[in-house]
Amino acid sequence: MRSAARRAYLKYPLLALLGTVAATVTWWPLRHPAAAPVAAALAAAPTAVCGAWLPSGGLALATADGQLQLHRGTQHRLLEQPLGPLSKLVASPAGDRLLLLSQGGQAALLELPGGLLQVLETPGGELADGAFSPDGAYLTLATATGELALWQTCDGLLTTVGNTFSEDRAALRAVGFSPGGDFLAAVTATGWWQLWQVEPAADLPPGLTQLVDRPVSLVGGLNALAWDTTGDHLLVGGDDGCLRRYRLADGQLEATCVVGTPVRALSFDATSGAVLAGGLDGTLARWAADGQVQRWRDVGDLSWLLALPGASAAVAASPPRLLKLR
């Protein structure tokens, strides 16, 4: 089901939620049909620190004071959540569940449009990231202590089925399933990217088998990752200011894009094949499928990125505001 807001995104494809106005960006008028639904959500969450687009339509935002808001078109709802201030929101592929990660290292699963489903027993320590498999059958959490935990959906709830660790138990910073759900990738604070195969069995819980453990030549660590739509390539960004694309068939580096500042977040545009990278100094880079690179300087505090439907992308900053990129 496509809402009016979703149809508007398809008609006006490139939107961004940014922190400040630069010479290379322009405001969407709030009366603009593509801007109105998102602008209304942002007006209700001026201190948003993270967010998630729901595949079923809508936007979830978490504020600095711990509020969790759900926005669908012109409807806005405050959701109860048990964790306090949040650091990450992850929507399930069907858009019916929302994973919450707290600044205190806790995790919970909400069933939308509202209602606590489960508080997860986390590995302990700071939670860096979380991800659902494309079919929603699995969930993984990555920690700053290098632990990767895997859950499987059973009778509507999640049960722990396996744990593994990063190279030398280095802090994990980002994790994500491949589009097919058969692989799981993670990046570490020491500059490694790692790949596991998810191995379901008929009579045993699924496990994780590590396939690749590859260091990246850079100063500092890796902070973000994104898969392309085919699952044939993995993109990673790190402290050396570069965005790299690796070929999964042999693990080899295929191409590099210079962002020019430490990369904090990535968003892959499935329709156009472009990748957005948010930099530490407020630089936003768009790496197109044909290799061309666009950069916007002094955009704002780019700490999280969200993909909008229909060949578009959104970038969230602090405070979030709605802008159109030229």
Question: What domains are there in the chain, each with its CATH number?
Answer: 32-277 (2.130.10.10)
Is the confidence at residue 108, as pLDDT, over 80? yes
Q: What is the mean pLDDT of the chain?
A: 75
For residue 272, pLDDT beyond 60: yes
**pTM of the model as a whole:** 0.81
pLDDT tens per residue, range 291-320: 888 887 777 666 666 655 443 445 455 556
Q: What is residue 204's predicted lDDT score, i.e. its pLDDT?
A: 45
Of the listed ranges 10-14, 35-39, 52-56, 263-267, the one predicted with least confidence:
10-14
Average pLDDT over residues 152-164: 68
Task: Provide the pLDDT confidence category of residue 17 given band limits of 50, 70 and 90.
Answer: very low
Place of tokens 């693990």: 251
Cβ pair 210, 218 in contact under 8 A: no
Share of the chain above pLDDT 90, in %: 20
pLDDT in tens, 172-222: 999 999 999 989 999 999 888 988 888 765 544 556 666 666 767 566 799
Q: What angle do CA 8, 89, 109 make, to 5 degrees?
A: 115
